Amino acid sequence: MRKTETKRSRNNIILVGFMGTGKTVVGNALARRLGFNYIDTDDIIEKRAGKTIPEIFAEDGEAHFRQLEKKAIRSLSHYDKYVIASGGGAVIFDENIKQMKNAGVVICLSARPEVIYERIKHNTYRPLLRVPDPLQRIKELLAQRQAQYEKADVVIDTSELSVDEVVNSIIAELKNRKPFNELELLDSHHSA
């Protein structure tokens, strides 16, 4: 569970990446494989604010949402053995990337714009994509954020991969990285 500041473990896996790259589904599957807990920074924000993400954007604006997101990310180093999915825009501030790296290994999931569009087109929960031409908007936002996503410790293109394949790639990466290479649970859960 949560740890105090002095006992920071960095035993967490933080998933970053654009909307629709698979952070939630991969994060849940990865957490199950590792026996870790799963949490999403958007859920932390909604719980603390007592409103949904679309309500926060509509009533308080994106800038306020970004402040709440920064606060949620600042609290991540208190978690231990969590898979943490962050919102797609979390990387736009270097401060957030620094905080996430402080809490664990930062893995970016990426995908081609067309694949992202197919995955999210029926979902109305994302205020930034409620525009007449969502694919164009996805391309613009990706272009703006690309350099930030590349600051992750590892980048995995999920466009052609199944959830299990993405999970296996992440586990293969963890095996070479402290402190995960010292956790025995990886081998016993790795079936590939």
From 127, 134, 135, 161, residue interacting with ligand S3P (rule: CB under 6 A):
127
Q: Residues 62, 18: contact at Cβ < 8 Å?
A: no
In the range 36-75, which residues lie near ligand S3P by CB under 6 A? 42, 53
Pick the stretch among 86-94, 111-119, 150-158, 177-185 that binds ligand S3P (CB under 6 A).
86-94
Least Cβ distance, residue 178 to ligand S3P (angstroms): 28
Count of residues in contact with ligand S3P, rule CB under 6 A = 10
Strand partners of residue 39: 84
Q: Does 88 bind ligand S3P (CB under 6 A)?
A: yes
Nearer to ligand S3P, 68 or 105 (CB): 68
Q: Does 134 bind ligand S3P (CB under 6 A)?
A: no
Give residue 190's region: left, alpha or beta (phi > 0; psi -120 to 50).
beta
Nearer to ligand S3P, 129 or 167 (CB): 129
DSSP string, 64-108: HHHHHHHHHHHTGGG--SEEEE--TTGGGSHHHHHHHHHHEEEEE
CA dist 146 and 161 (Å) reads 20
CA dist 183 and 168 (Å) reads 16
Q: How many angstroms separate the most distant Cα atoms in the chain?
A: 49
Least Cβ distance, residue 174 to ligand S3P (angstroms): 22
User: Which parts of this chain interact with ligand S3P (CB under 6 A)?
Assistant: 19, 23, 42, 53, 87-89, 126-128
